[in-house]
Amino acid sequence: MDPIRTDPKLGPLVETHGELPIGTADDEFERFVVSIVNQQLSVESAAAIRERLFDRVDVTPAGVRDADDATLRDVGLSGQKIEYVRNVANAFEERDLTREGLEGEPDGAVLDTLTEIRGVGVWTGKMYLIFVLGRPDVFPVEDLGIRKGMAELYGFDEDDRDGMNEHAERWRPYRSHASRYLWRVVD
């Protein structure tokens, strides 16, 4: 993590927060569903939906696929997100999307595989790479928190994704770790 520790803006955050882990989630499918629930929602709204979902549904591929629409709507999922979590459930049953199943695959190939699932975009795929697969060199510039952190620490305009990506190159091969500190800036 030397490129992060020696960064004049991130280095002090490492000192303050210590080393922040990037993942690996205990249950790959559950974490994938959490990423879909979190899409385009406030932290509070997403947390409330997640809590209700996990209380009322067996969050496994079969449990999500077999849950009735009314139950999924009652926990707060939109019709579109119901479709998306079922698409992920089907993909998990059709392919091995676990750490073991994707081991050895380059990040780009994994991202391509994940984004073939309707409802899984680049942001969700990158969250899976970081928090499920524990990939150390992913920079999720699509995430608003990342862009806000870059704006606050480095003065970027929040819409300057190209500039942020270029700046993040200095953190290779630890961009996932750098991202954890950028999220801390806005938490």
pLDDT at 13 over 90: yes
Q: How far apart are CA 35 and CA 125, in angstroms?
A: 9
Q: What is the CA radius of gyration of the chain?
A: 17
- Domains (ranges, CATH) in the chain? 2-21+139-186 (no CATH), 28-131 (1.10.340.30)
Q: How confident is the model at residue 53 (pLDDT cuts 50, 70, 90)?
A: very high
- Give the three-class secondary structure for 1: coil
pLDDT value of residue 66: 95
Q: How far apart are CA 68 and CA 64, in angstroms?
A: 8
The string of DSSP codes covering 101-160 is: HHTT--HHHHHHHHHTSTT--HHHHHHHHHHTS--S----TTSHHHHHHHHHHH---TT-
pLDDT tens profile 117-163: 999 999 999 999 999 999 999 999 999 999 999 999 999 999 999 99
pTM (2 d.p.): 0.89
Cβ–Cβ under 8 Å, residues 71 and 57: yes
Q: How confident is the model at residue 24 (pLDDT cuts 50, 70, 90)?
A: confident
**Could you count the other beta carbons within 10 Å of the beta carbon of residue 182?**
29
pLDDT value of residue 41: 79
Cα–Cα nearest to 140, from 100, 177, 109, 106:
177
pLDDT value of residue 62: 96
Q: Residue 172: what are its φ and ψ, rounded to 5°?
A: -55, 140
pLDDT value of residue 110: 97
pLDDT value of residue 26: 84
**Could you count the other beta carbons within 10 Å of the beta carbon of residue 38?**
18
pLDDT value of residue 64: 97
pLDDT tens profile 61-120: 999 999 999 999 999 999 999 999 999 999 999 999 999 999 999 999 999 999 999 999
Indicate the average pLDDT of the chain. Answer: 94
